[in-house]
Every structure is written in structure tokens, then in C-alpha cells.
Structure 1
Amino acid sequence: MDQTAAAKRTVIGLLAALMLAGCGDSPKSPSRASALVSVIPAPSKIEQRAGEFVLDDETRLEFGDGVEGERLGGYLIDLVQRTHGGGLNAGAGEVGNNPGAKAIRFELSADGSGGERYSLVSSPERVVISAGDSRGLFYGAVTLWQLMSKRDGGLVLPVVTIEDSPRFSWRGLMLDSARHYQPPEFIRKFIDVMALHKFNVLHWHLTDDQAWRLEIKKYPRLTEVGAWRVPAGAAPAADIDPGTGKPRLYGGFYSQEEVREIVAYAKDRNITIVPEIDMPGHASAAIAAYPQLAVIDRPSTQVPADWGVYPNLFNVEESTFQFLQDVLAEVIALFPSEYIHVGGDEAVKDQWKASARVQARMRELGLKDEHEMQSYFIKRMETFLSSQGRRLIGWDEILEGGLPPKATVMSWRGIDGAVAAATAGHDTVLSPQPTLYFDRRPVDLPTLPGRASVVTTEEVYAFDPVPAALNEEQRKHILGVQANIWVEHIRTLERVELMTFPRAAALAEVAWSPVKDWASFSARLPAQLERYRALDVRYAEALPPRSLDPFRRSSHELALCSDKIRLSLEDDAPVTGDRAVFLVDILDPCWVFKDADLSKVQSLVAAVGQVPFNFQIGDAVKQIPLPPPATAAGELEVRIGDCKGERIAVLPLAPAVGNHAVTTLPPAQITPREGKHDLCFTFTRKSIDPTWVIDSIALQTTTAAATE
């Protein structure tokens, strides 16, 4: 080995700091045997032999010719410091001072093989990580870190031979920053954790109806107006900003300088950021900032706060196409990614259908319907992006009306979009709901908002991203897989992590590893959870099963009467601090207390909340029942047997009207009855907004009443 530091760009590291006091096994650490091989995602090939590499104060950290030693070494040093409490003291000594010492060496392969492939070979004396380029060396460093296990206050590595490369080239997570803004430091943390799973694409959702988050220099009102809204509900409406005398605005945006820093940060971790700029739908925030972009004559100039699908589309004037090209030109300057995502989903065509000007434009262009108009719209954007050396990607609705020739399809409405795209010769990414939609809760945790249905880590792991309907040639068009973290109901940063991990670990293995083995993954997962704890990453764990209290149920313990749009829905109050979370079907707010023993029940106590009905669901809103109230405020009605049974109690809502948070209503007297009965709870009301919801129901027995 050439001993000159300049020729070899070698960094000498004394690893004594890894032999740290207090670094012994944690009570929650996996067993030593499992920790040695607990790598996620599982390598393509791993062979373990007897023996181990023990890091000591003579161990050297080396980098060969062409290796970016400063960057890679700094990353590994920092990672070990953060997870093991100490680090690699790089730069202590000269090469050759102790040529017999142990070494961890990173080197570029002599065969020049590129891509993300790497090998890791360890013996009791030496660890060598080799790859064709920096990406492979980075992933080798991540695997090296995962192989480290604690023993006797220090670290050891198993003796292994690993040959590893990814199954798919697109291994992604989508983070929605439009519905709720996450600060740059959180984005960087999220990127850090992605890199440790060998993800390589962050699809960053930056615009939608509820906000425009990206600074565009040519159109400053996009963030001056479009990045801010008043959240839905009575509590935010009453939260008056003393500086303006108006309800306090909620939001934020990313400056171009912040974006450049985040993009560079991601690049250092082998992650490409693919920005999404929605069009032609999900355009309300942009239209609020620049009303001339609208189809209708008098659009709202306020950014809306409802979730769901708005009818607002961009118009199809040449000036609007120029606006979007100007925006994309600045996006391209910020994001060096090959792909630019243009959305294309959920573009309700009602405004286009009703607009004489749009209809005239369609006739001018020879387009037979609104689907062809959308296809023309997307093709215009694809032509522009191609002229800039970029590729367009969009949700699977871009298939409708004809696909641009070089477009890539992200299939979210099941796998059919991917099958159609690949069959037609287009590249595709599998991202289907519900399995890869991480707004579905990972566990049935009552304090966790989101779509009420549960998609478990095991269900994510079982997903097969290669549809059986495709032949071998068509399967080559599958770029990979991606999970989407939509955050309408994920307001806090902690919850973003809870909804993402450890399900992301399961997806990482699906995306990377050629063979899946749930039993093996499950055995390796505890070590991954230990890494999350070391990195202060929240993750979801299922609660142990517990018996229901026969006399008290939270809304999550009650049964819903229907399964239409079931949400674990967070209250809008208080504006700051913890909020209640309610289980509710917003199309049918109705709950059942199953098998209530009424033999000794004397009264019933209900805790209720009121949440804004901020959902754009089209004609489905007409399905919502509105039982007529007997009083102005309405009532909570209790019926026995089923929801058409005898009414046995009525609780007036008047005491709760002025309270934005949870209110415990005065008890309602109940006549005891023998046996167990179902109790149905519904609200009378004049309108759908607000939606009254149950927080909890308590049945008070004669004994309990006597002690109060």
C-alpha cells in the first residue's frame, strides 16, 4: 500500500473513543447473536464466519485513491458519535506509524463497477469496503454502522462477507409539506433517517390547495399569500393576532437558500429530492395569490383550510402556461433531479366543463373532451421539461386522455396505473393506497390521528411491487416503490415519525433486498428500533391488548355504525397544547356501545367535542344525516338495541356550545334493565358544521352513584 497521505487520501483514526465508559448493553438491546447480523435492509448476500473484529485504540480508518474521505469519514464519525456516545478521532497520526494495526478501509473497485453496489469483507484484523462509486461506499458505511454491536464498553463487528446491491433504482418516501409545514431542521433529520434505510428518493410535496411552500422569485405572492391560512374551526377563528386584529395565520415556506442547503444535504446522503408542483388541480393556494390563474371570474383570495378535493383548476390560457413554465424554470434551478413531479391527480373538470372560454380553447385545439384537455396540459409541461433536460412524472391520472411520450407514471390508485403504464412502454413507480399510504395508522393507537384504518408493518412488508400481469420485458419499466406520508391529519413532527417508522424499514427491505423473509425481518427489527431510540426517532409500537372497561368506553373503543370515511380525527382546540382525538365516520357520526350491562346503571355521562367539517367530498356530503334538533343547540340521543330503537336518554348540547374543546355533559338518568344491550349514540343538529363527536361514554352504576 502506498503510504503517502496525498496519494491515498488516507484519514488515520484512533478508535479509542469507541471504547466508551457506560457503552455496555442496554436492557432493551437485542441479543449479541442477533445484533451481529441485524442489517436492514437485508443484504443481497451475506456469509458469516467465526470470529470478530474488535475496535481498539490502534484501529485505523483509511480511504483509498479517489474516495471522498473527508465527507464519508465525517459522516461515519458523526453517526457513531450520535448513536454510541463517542466518535472516531480522525487525523491522529501518519500512515505507516503502526502498519500492523487493525484497519477499516474504504476503496474504489478496480473493475470500475458503478451503481449502488458495494462489498464489505471483514476479518479479525481488517475491514474492507469497496464499491464502484461514492454511493456504494456510503451504503457500505451504513451497513458497517449497523454491524457494530456493543460489548464490554466497546464495539465489535462480526467476520462477514457481504455482496450487496439494490433491487430497484427508485426507493422513495414522499413527505407532504403542503398541508402542514415542517421546518428545515426536521427535513434534514428525515433525510438522515431515510439514508440509514438506503432510501434514495425524497419526493417533496410542496404545493397544494392548502398552501404553496416554495419561494418563487418571479411570483412572490405565491408564498406571501399562498403559504398562510387560518386553520379550520372555531378555536383558530377565535385566536386573534394582536398585530393584525385578525385570526392568526398558520404556515410557512422554504426560501430558495434553504432549499439549496437541503438539496445539498440530501445529495451528501445519496438522496435525490424530487419536487412536486401540482397542476392542473390542487391549485387553490396559487389561485388565491394570483386570481388571474383561475377558471372562474371571482375566485377566493384566501387560502382554504378544508381537506379533500377542491374543484379549482388552473385555466388554460397561454399566460397561465407561461406562468407555470416560469415557476418550473426556478424549480429546475433549485432541484438537479432528473424528474420533476407535476401532480396531475384529482383534477375535477367541472369548472372546465362550465367555462365558455375553456370550451372554446378545446375547440381551437381540436380536443374532444376535458380529459384530452388535461392531457394537452400535461404534454405542454412535459415538452417544456424535456427542453430543459428533465423528465416529467405524475400521478396515474396523467394516463387519462393520452400520456406524454416520455412521462413516468406514479401509480397510487392501486397497481392498475403501473400495469397500464408499463404495458404501454412507460416507466412507473408503485405507490398504491392503502398499503403504501402512511396516513393510514400503523397501530390502533387512540392518541394517533389519521385515517382510521390500520396498515401494519407486516402488511407493508408483504407488498409485492412487481405485478403478476406484466411480462418480463414490461417489468423492466418498474423503477421501484414509494410510500407517501400525507399529513392532513398528521399535524406534529412527532406524529410524522410515528406514522413513518418502522413501516419505512419494511418498505426499505422490499425496495432493496431480492428475497423477503418476514420471520428474519422481525428478528432483526428490535435492533432497528434500538437505533431509532439512539437517534431520537419516534416510532409506532402496538399496545398490548387490554380488556374493555364494561362501564366506560372512549370513542376509539366504541363501534362505529358505518365504514364510509372513518377518521381518527384531532380536535381543533386548544390552539396550543395537547388535543383530544376522536374516532368518527364523518359521513355518519354514529357510535355503538356494545353489550352494555344496564342492570345496575342509573345514569350516563358523555364527554363530547365539536370539530369543523372541513372536508371537500363533493356530492357525498348529501349523504350525511341531519336528525332535526328539539333545541337550538341540539342533543345527543341514546337509543337501545340499535339506532332505530327506543330512545332512553337525551343529553342537551347547550353546555358544550361555547367550549371549543371537550365538554362533559350533565348526566342523563337511565332506568336499569336486565341483561346486556347495545346502545346507539347520535347527534341531532341543523347543519354538518360543526360535527359533534363523542370523546367518551361512562355508565354510572347505583354503587358508583352512591359513592359520589
Structure 2
Amino acid sequence: MGRFPLWVLVFVLVFVKMVVATRGGNAEDVKVWPLPYSVCHGQKKMYMSGDFKLLSHGSKFSDASGILKDGFARFVDLLKLAHAVDGNVSKYDNSSIFVGLNVVILTQHDELQYGVDESYKLLVPSPEMPAYAQIEAQTVYGALHALQTLSQICQFNFKSRIIDVPMTPWTISDKPRFPFRGLLIDTSRHYQPVPVIKSVIDSMAYAKLNVLHWHIVDTQSFPLEIPSYPKLWDGAYSVSERYTMTDAAEIVSYAQKRGINVLAEIDVPGHAFSWGVGYPSLWPSKDCQQPLDVSNDFTFKVIDGILSDFSKVFKFKFVHLGGDEVNTSCWRTTSHISKWLKQQGMNESEAYQYFVLKAQKIALSHGYELVNWEETFNNFGKKLSPKTVVHNWLGSGVAENVVKAGLRCIVSNQDKWYLDHLDTPWQQFYLNEPLTNIKESSQQKLVIGGEVCMWGETVDASDIQQTIWPRAAAAAERLWTPYGKLAKDTTLVTGRLAHFRCLLNQRGIAAAPLAAGGRGTPYEPDSCYKQ
């Protein structure tokens, strides 16, 4: 762990004494979303210095890539975003001035991958103590979460025109309930410009979501450059509604600096009409254009090329191969495929299985583990690679069956966690429990988390954020906060969620009012906190 300076040891000892004396803080006073694992606070106030410093005494982390430095700069910018901080902090006693933050990171590397330790401890002093706060985390990504929490504790004081840190001292120990906490965006149904995707990534970090599931292509368009097969993006809506591979690498890097992995998806063999715009031989025929031609070796060469190019940019452990909603009638009615099926001794269902398993083998050859939509499990679960994560979306009971079969699962059941279902209120997002009817701890561990899905049929750059938020935040707390601390009555968290929604607005994120359901607008004039 390394040697701490004497002042740090004194700080910790005095802090423990202060915390013991101030354990009377009420949970309802804590305006942090998602709710941390453990929180204690006092009733005193500190004031942030205008020259707030970052220190790293005792840290093993060199921050060669600047992730912590950049995260700290974003933290300071967030505090100053809503109002001009132009007050004079020097009129306060030095013991009341919060002059800096010491961040101790206990591992040297900054690799972001599935299962990375995201825990942290946050200690914020009171006026009787040295005026440095302390963050301790195993990894820089835990430290980034701690900065997000601290940013929600701080507030602008309209009288003094400086940043207050109320209810000190604070001691927070925190860690996520699930390692996979995702949000899907769909850039095929409507193109989302790169700055919009970056804004979504920023907002995810505020709620401690850590996986951006990028559903890049679908029937409607193929917007991503694939260097191995450059005609694929002929299937884009227009020449300007495209992403270069450099764009994709920039999105991955931008997300990684905020502790967010990017899960790339190519949905095969269905949902793939757009592939054939550039390469018509991928279609079964000109008149029957999807699913992809299972009988054509070129189909699998293209998939191999895509995943080869993906492996150079998308470094997350998993790739999503889709596999849902496959209507095999084109295979039956297209003569050359029908003939091939007979030669192979396969029916249509067996050809569907053949296609999915062959795509899995290609992905495995590029070093990926696999995610497939639940239809693959429902149809031939025992044949799937043991490295498969089954993505539940259709209904209840699937996760239970998946983990009984020994496979991992992600929960996104559409009746509760589909953001395009505008009639699903935030309360249902909050109450949706991924471990329903899964009692054995060994099986519970196979549910690696959950994901809210922002399908793109009715969202573009104009309305994506107000459709995502605040309902995604309700799911984010379900995925982060320990089960025992989650409210069974959503009225107990309404005020805190409203506070977070207003905080998003103050940070430039167009989160919709709580009372408006999905993607609503305010009903009448009133405070942000009452809408």
C-alpha cells in the first residue's frame, strides 16, 4: 500500500473519531444517486478553495495516460458548470476551507475490462480536521466513481457565491452490486452524431453505468466503416451519416476515460438488409433479402472481416452477435439455399443454429467472449459456447432458466427496461429485479447485470437524452445499490431521483420530468424538483 505522510495518518485517525460522533445523519438527507453502499455524515459545512488541488500521496498509480487528471478536471468543471463561482473564500477561517483532494489508487495499471474493481472509499473532512478530502480505490475507475459521488455532495452557495460541502464529515464506502450496468443505443434506425454519443457517455458516468452497448447496424442502415469490406457502409442513410473507424476508436477512448466499456454489436443473421446494399450477394436473392445467405461462404468471410476490424478498436471482453427475430422463410423459398439445405441434411431451424454457432466460432477466434439475444438460448441453448452470455429481452423466467443451464445472463426484459416503451414509468424501471426467483448464490453470480435499451425507431439527436433520462437512472440504482438498501416503495426515492434529474438538467442533459412518463414535457409552471 505504500507509506503515507504523517498528515494523512493523523487525518484518518481524527476522521474516524469524528465519524463515530456523527453517525446520526439520516439517509433521506443524502442526495446521491445511485445510493452508495454505506454512508455516514455530520452536520458541519466546509467551503471549497478556488485553487482546489489534486494530490496523490501514497498512491501506486502513476496516471501516465492522464485518466485521473482528466477526471479531476471534469469534476471541478462540473462544480462550476451551473453558476459562476465568483465569491471570496478567504473571508472564512482556514480550518473551514476545503483546499484539496488526495487520491490513493492501489494498483498501477489503468486497463478497463469486465469485472474491474470499481469500489472506493471517500472521506470528506469537517472544520476540525486537515482540509483535504481523501479517496482510496483499488483502481482509477473506482476513483472516478468517487469523484462523481463527491460532485453530487457539493453545492453552489448563492449567498457566498462559492461551492459548499455541507453535512461534513462524510465517510462513504461504495461498490457496485453488478459488474455489468449497461445502456443500449441504436445508430441504425436513426443516426446519432458523435458529439451526441459522447454526451450520452457523459450522462452514463453521472449515474455510474459502465457499458455502452452500441447496436451499430441493423436492417435500416449500416453506418460504420469496415476497412476489410469498404462497400458495407454503402448501406448508410447518406454519405454524411457514417462513422469512420477512427470515430469508433475515439468513442471507445472517450468512454474508457470515464470508466465505460463499449460493447459492439453486429446482429446476425437477421436484421441485416443494409449489408447487401454494398454486397448484394449477401442477400438470399434480390427479392428476398434477409436473413443473410447461410449457404454462401462469402457471408462468413464478411463476418470474419468485420470482427477482425472490430478487434483492433473494440477492446471489451465481449462482442454482441445478436441472433434475434430470425425469419428463415427466405432460406426456404430461395432455390439455391433450399438446395444447399437438402445437401447438408438441414432444415431451416438447424440452419439458424448452424449460422449462430459458426458466427460464435469466428468471434472466439478473434479473442472475444459472446453475447447473444435470448432466442438463441430458447432454440438451442445446449449447443451455445460456454463463453456465451444470454441477453434476456422477451419476458420473465428466461434468466432463471439460463443460469440453471450454467450460462451467464444479462437482463433487459422489454416490459420493464425498454426505453422506447414510452408508457413504462420510472417506477417500473426501479422495481425490476434481475434476480427474481434466482435463490442460489452460485446462480445469482451468473446474472452479470442488466441493461436498459434505447432502441432508435423514434429517437434521434433531438430527443435521445430526454427519452433515456431519468428512467435509466432508476435502473442504474437497481444495478449499483445493494439489494437491502433498495426501496420497496418508490415514493421513498422520488425526491432523490427528482434531485438527480434536476442535476442532469443543470449539467446540460435534457432529462425529462419524472411525472411525465417516457419522454414527456412539463405540465405547467413549477419547480424542477416538483416535475
Q: Aligned to 1:227, which of 229, 236, 244?
A: 236
Shift in Å at residue 82 of structure 1?
4.3
Q: Aligned to 1:44, which of 30, 37, 44?
A: 37
Aligned ranges for residues 272-671 of structure 1 at < 5 Å?
272-298=261-287, 312-367=291-346, 369-399=347-377, 400-402=379-381, 403-405=383-385, 406-441=387-422, 454-469=423-438, 471-490=440-459, 492-514=460-482, 515-517=485-487, 518-541=490-513
The residue type equivalent to 1:388 in the other structure is H
Which string of whole-angstrom CA distances, capped at 9 and with x for unpartnered residues, describes residues 51-94 of structure 1?
A: 23321246543123315284323333234324524799xxxxxx
Residues 340 and 544 from structure 1, CA distance in 2 versus in 1: closer, same or farther, beyond 3 angstroms? closer
Shift in Å at residue 35 of structure 1?
9.8
Shift in Å at residue 108 of structure 1?
1.8
Shift in Å at residue 374 of structure 1?
1.4
Q: SS at 1:160's partner residue?
A: strand
Name the CA distance, whole Å, in 1 between partners of 2:363 and 2:68.
Answer: 33
Number of aligned pairs? 465
Shift in Å at residue 208 of structure 1?
0.6
Q: SS at 1:483's partner residue?
A: strand
The corresponding residue for 2:194 is: 184
Name the CA distance, whole Å, in 1 between partners of 2:421 and 2:512.
Answer: 12
Name the CA distance, whole Å, in 1 between partners of 2:50 and 2:273.
Answer: 60
Contact kept in structure 1, 2:79 and 2:151, CA below 8 Å: no
Contact kept in structure 2, 1:67 and 1:107, CA below 8 Å: no
Which string of whole-angstrom CA distances, capped at 9 and with x for unpartnered residues, describes residues 287-307 of structure 1?
A: 22211111125557xxxxxxx
Correspondence 1:216 to 2:250: no
Structure with bigger strand share is 1
Residues 426 and 115 from structure 1, CA distance in 2 versus in 1: closer, same or farther, beyond 3 angstroms? same
The residue type equivalent to 2:156 in the other structure is K
The residue type equivalent to 2:152 in the other structure is Q
Shift in Å at residue 114 of structure 1?
6.7
Contact kept in structure 1, 2:75 and 2:147, CA below 8 Å: no
Residues 101 and 270 from structure 1, CA distance in 2 versus in 1: closer, same or farther, beyond 3 angstroms? closer
Name the CA distance, whole Å, in 2 between partners of 1:110 and 1:268.
Answer: 16
The corresponding residue for 1:107 is: 104
The corresponding residue for 1:56 is: 49
Which string of whole-angstrom CA distances, capped at 9 and with x for unpartnered residues, describes residues 4-57 of structure 1?
A: xxxxxxxxxxxxxxxxxxxxxxxxxxxx99996211110011111232332124
Contact kept in structure 1, 2:304 and 2:362, CA below 8 Å: yes
The corresponding residue for 2:119 is: 117
Q: SS at 1:340's partner residue?
A: strand
Residues 282 and 314 from structure 1, CA distance in 2 versus in 1: closer, same or farther, beyond 3 angstroms? farther
Q: SS at 2:274's partner residue?
A: helix
The corresponding residue for 2:163 is: 155
The corresponding residue for 2:13 is: none
The percentage of aligned residue pairs carrying the same residue is 27
Which piece of structure 1 moves more, 400-409 or 505-514?
400-409
Shift in Å at residue 354 of structure 1?
2.2
The corresponding residue for 2:21 is: none
Q: SS at 2:170's partner residue?
A: strand
The residue type equivalent to 2:133 in the other structure is V
Q: Cα RMSD over matched residues?
A: 3.0
Contact kept in structure 1, 2:416 and 2:432, CA below 8 Å: yes
The corresponding residue for 2:69 is: 73
Q: SS at 2:493's partner residue?
A: helix
CA radius of gyration, larger in: 1
Higher RCO by CA contacts (8 Å cutoff, separation 6 or greater)? 2
Q: SS at 2:372's partner residue?
A: strand
Name the CA distance, whole Å, in 1 between partners of 2:156 and 2:169.
Answer: 15
Contact kept in structure 2, 1:172 and 1:199, CA below 8 Å: yes
Contact kept in structure 1, 2:283 and 2:291, CA below 8 Å: yes
Residues 404 and 364 from structure 1, CA distance in 2 versus in 1: closer, same or farther, beyond 3 angstroms? farther
In structure 2, the gaps of 5 or more residues are: 6-24, 86-94, 110-114, 520-531
TM-score by length of 1: 0.61
Shift in Å at residue 530 of structure 1?
2.5
Contact kept in structure 2, 1:60 and 1:101, CA below 8 Å: no
TM-score by length of 2: 0.81
The residue type equivalent to 1:172 in the other structure is G
Contact kept in structure 1, 2:67 and 2:140, CA below 8 Å: no
Aligned ranges for residues 686-705 of structure 1 at < 5 Å?
none
The corresponding residue for 2:135 is: 129
Residues 220 and 544 from structure 1, CA distance in 2 versus in 1: closer, same or farther, beyond 3 angstroms? closer
Which string of whole-angstrom CA distances, capped at 9 and with x for unpartnered residues, describes residues 428-481 of structure 1?
A: 10001121110011xxxxxxxxxxxx1111111011111215533222110101
Residues 468 and 333 from structure 1, CA distance in 2 versus in 1: closer, same or farther, beyond 3 angstroms? same
Contact kept in structure 1, 2:51 and 2:99, CA below 8 Å: yes
Name the CA distance, whole Å, in 1 between partners of 2:505 and 2:481.
Answer: 24
Contact kept in structure 1, 2:145 and 2:208, CA below 8 Å: yes
Residues 82 and 473 from structure 1, CA distance in 2 versus in 1: closer, same or farther, beyond 3 angstroms? closer
Q: SS at 1:278's partner residue?
A: coil
Shift in Å at residue 150 of structure 1?
2.0
Contact kept in structure 1, 2:288 and 2:330, CA below 8 Å: no
Which string of whole-angstrom CA distances, capped at 9 and with x for unpartnered residues, describes residues 637-659 of structure 1?
A: xxxxxxxxxxxxxxxxxxxxxxx
Residues 71 and 472 from structure 1, CA distance in 2 versus in 1: closer, same or farther, beyond 3 angstroms? closer
Contact kept in structure 1, 2:33 and 2:500, CA below 8 Å: yes
Which string of whole-angstrom CA distances, capped at 9 and with x for unpartnered residues, describes residues 615-649 of structure 1?
A: xxxxxxxxxxxxxxxxxxxxxxxxxxxxxxxxxxx
Q: SS at 1:115's partner residue?
A: coil
Shift in Å at residue 271 of structure 1?
0.6
The residue type equivalent to 2:74 in the other structure is D
Shift in Å at residue 512 of structure 1?
0.2
Contact kept in structure 2, 1:83 and 1:535, CA below 8 Å: no
Shift in Å at residue 365 of structure 1?
4.1
Residues 314 and 415 from structure 1, CA distance in 2 versus in 1: closer, same or farther, beyond 3 angstroms? farther
Shift in Å at residue 384 of structure 1?
1.7
- Poorly superposed stretches of 4+, deviation over 6 Å: 32-36, 110-114
The corresponding residue for 1:172 is: 182
Name the CA distance, whole Å, in 1 between partners of 2:324 and 2:39.
Answer: 42
The residue type equivalent to 2:46 in the other structure is F
Structure with bigger helix share is 2
Name the CA distance, whole Å, in 2 between partners of 1:106 and 1:79.
Answer: 13
Name the CA distance, whole Å, in 2 between partners of 1:87 and 1:344.
Answer: 51
